[in-house]
Amino acid sequence: MAAPPRLSKMPISPRRRQSTIKGYLVGVVLALVLTAIPFGLVATRALRPIQIFVVIGIAAIAQAVVHLRYFLHLDLKPSSQNKLIALCFAGVVLFILFGGTLWIMFNLNYRKM
């Protein structure tokens, strides 16, 4: 039987493969911790609701950064600048869609009352 074709002609060194796996494992651990912290605070009601909302917001932003860095491999190097610009554009579009949706919903709620 013939071996399946490789997508890339360049060999992957064991050291690079190990560093990639290590990066993914660090990302998974950080993502789990940043998920467990707000979940634990909500489950135990250790803080006041406003403080819990602030912690959830901070953890959400930190988790987004972790996903961008460890899973999407985006950083501030010039080689990934185009990816970062495309991601910022997508973020602006999502912000406009989300903001517009909230605006319409609150406007409808105001007119209904």
Kindly report, residue by residue over 24-59, the tens digit of the pLDDT.
Answer: 999 999 999 999 999 999 999 999 999 999 999 999
Residues 62 and 84 both lie in one domain: no
Residues 84 and 44 both lie in one domain: no
Torsion of CA 66, 94, 39, 70, to 10 degrees: -10
Report the distance separating Cα 104 and Cα 86, nearest Å. 27
Domains contained in the chain, number: 2
pLDDT surpasses 60 at 1: no
For range 73-98, the mean pLDDT: 84
Distance of CA 86 to the CA centre of its chain: 15
Instruction: Provide the pLDDT for residue 12.
Output: 59
Residue span of the structural domain in which 66 resides: 19-73
Residue 14 forms part of a structural domain: no
Six-digit token string for 92: 């602006």
Report the distance separating Cα 5 and Cα 77, nearest Å. 32
3-state secondary structure of 55: helix
Residue 11 forms part of a structural domain: no
Six-digit token string for 112: 């209904």
Instruction: Provide the pLDDT for residue 60.
Output: 92
Report the distance separating Cα 25 and Cα 62, nearest Å. 17
| pTM across the whole model | 0.64
83 CB-near residues (< 8 Å, 6+ apart): 72, 74
Residues 67 and 82 both lie in one domain: no
Report the distance separating Cα 53 and Cα 4, nearest Å. 50
Binned at pLDDT 50, 70 and 90, residue 68 comes out as confident
Residues 44 and 61 both lie in one domain: yes
Instruction: Provide the pLDDT for residue 76.
Output: 75
